[in-house]
């Protein structure tokens, strides 16, 4: 009877690898390396050396049936996605492990080709086809091999970067030695000595950007393009500019994968998720280029080589895990529309999926890794609320944080600052298409009314007063009411019998459950730019 080796590979430390630099070009290159790790030339050349031929790494997507037991095959891809890969090797006649040989050669090549990449393997023998095709056996197989992976992660502590000898010039982007000279490709890019890890990422960014533009060529139509410089994402010269990091994650997708009854079903689901994410992004960009008015004073796009530079750049789209960077005022509106599109394409795949988003808005000088962490934290907060809601409720939620300047700790610590006498100054997160008190649509509507009717100077003064003692902020609100300044409070913000109180149930306690939407509305007037995509 044929014996098959199952080799599960997991890329660890992905966030540390991608966001170890504050340079967008390096970040894009790193994410491309992660995305193509299980299909690039380093891997295919190793497989050819071990197997004696070039296997088709995409065959599992063309035909999801399991073939390695039925055909005289040495190798088959189980699936590739989400930073994981599952490979099957046939044991040779002498029962020598091809999986072990592959791992030994490939991991050595990774050290030289992609320093800093860390991959943890798990290994298991598969003796019957039923282990991959029958529900109880397949779930047992998955449980055991993922448990083995978990055990290996806890014991595997690799050193996969070049250590500083103490006599080398340290790389300005990492703490590693500046071993190689990097020749800048653009006039705004310096030529300098950098670490091998950074140079590998920067070189990969060129390929990544060309691939993205090529994939969307029919939409961009040589009129729009993507850039790898975060200072070209729609910022205005000589002004204080902001960026947004968007992090979108599916709800319960991991559980959905674990519920699949066979490798064939798992493959089909993986293909569907990838199709949903890719198609939603294509539609998002298509809507933007179709609706972007070229002379829009609120969103003046830069031009390069005669093409408009789009104010969005995807960083990572791996499975249901999405990260992108945008011009600061577009983060919320793009996240909102992207989730709507993800829902639409999920329904086309006969799947009922929901998604949550976290958005951080920050000054261009703020550390990018911290901005990513804040967006990730915000996404987690949105997911927490989505799990608490009734089964029939809308599960798509969005949370956001505006970082104006300075150091920022974890979002949980930052938000303690918003807890004042009387209650919480913020009411985030918001339900994207809900019709309850935390409806994002109501938040947008209130922000639009406030921006239209209240001068920006008064809004800034109002926001400053919200942090003050209760008597001072109530005085400010009452004075403005007496001046007939039309601040449009809706009944869900304050009681209908509003008489200058900030909270519906004002008290002297710091009660986090007693919330006002006012601060959120004011920030929305500053950082929500509706680009009319698909509307």
Which pLDDT value is given to residue 187?
Answer: 56
Is the pLDDT reported for residue 39 higher than 70? yes
Which pLDDT value is given to residue 503?
Answer: 57
If we measure between CA atoms, which residue out of 403, 437, 456 comes closest to residue 513?
A: 437
Which pLDDT value is given to residue 241?
Answer: 86
Residue 316 burial class via C-beta count within 10 angstroms: exposed 0-12, middle 13-18, buried 19 and up: buried
Which pLDDT value is given to residue 91?
Answer: 84
pLDDT in tens, 186-228: 556 676 767 778 889 999 999 999 999 999 999 999 999 999 9
Listed range (246-250, 368-372, 447-451) with the worst mean pLDDT:
447-451
Mean pLDDT across the stretch 379-392? 83
d(CA 289, CA 271): 27
pLDDT in tens, 455-481: 888 888 888 887 877 777 777 767 766
Mean pLDDT across the stretch 280-294? 90
In this prediction, residue 92 has a pLDDT band, given cuts at 50, 70 and 90, of: confident
38 vs 178, higher pLDDT: 38
d(CA 60, CA 515): 51
Is the pLDDT reported for residue 500 higher than 50? no
pTM, two decimals, is 0.90
Is the pLDDT reported for residue 123 higher than 50? yes
332 vs 127, higher pLDDT: 332
Number of CB atoms found within 10 A of residue 391's CB: 5
Which pLDDT value is given to residue 277?
Answer: 97
Buried b (16+ CB within 10 A) or exposed e, 210-223: eebeeebeebbeee
Which pLDDT value is given to residue 505?
Answer: 55
Give the list of residues 6+ apart from residue 168 with CB closer than 8 angstroms, or none. 177, 178, 179
Q: What is the mean pLDDT of the chain?
A: 85
SS3 327: strand
Listed range (1-5, 66-70, 329-333, 501-505) with the worst mean pLDDT:
501-505
Using left for φ > 0, alpha for ψ between -120 and 50, and beta otherwise, residue 423 falls in: left
Torsion sign (Cα): 234, 238, 239, 243: positive
Is the pLDDT reported for residue 315 higher than 90? yes
* Phi (first) and psi of residue 402, to 5 degrees: -105, 120
To which residue do tokens 């065959």 refer?
59
Domains defined for the chain, CATH in brackets: 4-155 (3.30.70), 227-408 (3.30.70.270), 410-535 (no CATH)
Mean pLDDT across the stretch 419-435? 84
Query: In this structure, are residues 213 and 291 in contact, taking their beta carbons and an 8 Å threshold?
Result: no
Which pLDDT value is given to residue 256?
Answer: 92
d(CA 389, CA 452): 33
Which pLDDT value is given to residue 494?
Answer: 39
């Amino acid at each position: 009877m044929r014996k098959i080796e199952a080799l599960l590979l997991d890329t660890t430390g992905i966030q540390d690898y991608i966001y170890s630099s504050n340079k967008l070009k390096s970040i894009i290159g790193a994410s491309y390396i992660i995305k193509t790790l299980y299909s690039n030339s380093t891997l295919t050349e190793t497989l050819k050396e071990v197997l004696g031929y070039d296997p088709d790494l995409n065959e599992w997507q063309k035909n999801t049936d399991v073939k390695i037991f039925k055909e005289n095959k040495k190798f088959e891809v189980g699936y590739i996605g989400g930073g994981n890969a599952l490979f099957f090797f046939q044991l040779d006649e002498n029962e020598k492990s091809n999986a072990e040989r592959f791992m030994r050669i490939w991991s050595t090549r990774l050290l030289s080709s992609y320093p800093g990449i860390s991959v943890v393997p798990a290994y298991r023998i598969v003796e019957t086809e039923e282990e991959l095709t029958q529900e109880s056996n397949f779930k047992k197989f998955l449980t055991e091999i993922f448990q083995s992976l978990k055990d290996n992660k806890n014991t595997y502590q690799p050193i996969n970067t070049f250590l500083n000898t103490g006599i080398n010039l340290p790389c300005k982007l990492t703490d590693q030695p500046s071993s190689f000279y990097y020749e800048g490709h653009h006039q705004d890019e310096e030529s300098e000595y950098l670490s091998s890890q950074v140079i590998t990422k920067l070189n990969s960014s060129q390929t990544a950007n060309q691939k993205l533009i090529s994939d969307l060529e029919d939409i961009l139509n040589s009129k729009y393009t993507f850039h790898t410089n975060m200072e070209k994402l729609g910022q205005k010269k000589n002004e204080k500019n902001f960026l947004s990091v968007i992090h979108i994650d599916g709800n319960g997708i991991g559980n959905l994968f674990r519920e699949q009854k066979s490798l064939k079903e798992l493959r089909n689901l993986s293909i569907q998720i990838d199709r949903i994410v890719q198609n939603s992004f294509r539609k998002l960009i298509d809507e933007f280029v179709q609706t972007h008015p070229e002379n829009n004073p609120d969103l003046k796009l830069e031009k390069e080589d005669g093409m408009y530079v789009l104010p969005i750049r995807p960083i990572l789209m791996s499975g249901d895990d999405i990260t992108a960077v945008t011009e600061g005022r577009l983060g919320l509106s793009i996240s909102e529309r992207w989730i709507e599109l993800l829902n639409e394409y999920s329904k086309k795949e006969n799947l009922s999926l929901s998604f949550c988003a976290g958005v951080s808005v920050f000054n261009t000088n703020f550390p990018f890794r911290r901005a990513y962490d804040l967006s990730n934290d915000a996404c987690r907060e949105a997911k927490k609320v989505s799990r608490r809601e009734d089964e029939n409720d809308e599960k798509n939620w969005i949370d956001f944080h505006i970082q104006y300047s300075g150091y920022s700790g974890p979002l949980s610590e930052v938000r303690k600052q918003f807890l004042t006498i009387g209650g919480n100054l913020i009411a985030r997160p918001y339900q994207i298409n809900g019709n309850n008190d935390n409806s994002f649509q109501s938040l947008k509507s209130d922000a639009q009314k406030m921006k239209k009717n209240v001068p920006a100077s008064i809004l800034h003064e109002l926001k400053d007063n919200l942090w003050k003692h209760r008597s001072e902020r109530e005085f400010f609100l009452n004075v403005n009411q007496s001046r007939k300044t039309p601040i449009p409070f809706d009944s869900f913000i304050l009681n209908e019998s509003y008489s200058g109180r900030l909270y519906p149930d004002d008290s002297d306690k710091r009660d986090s459950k007693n919330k006002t939407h006012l601060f959120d509305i004011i920030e929305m007037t500053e950082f929500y730019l509706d680009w009319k995509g698909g509307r």
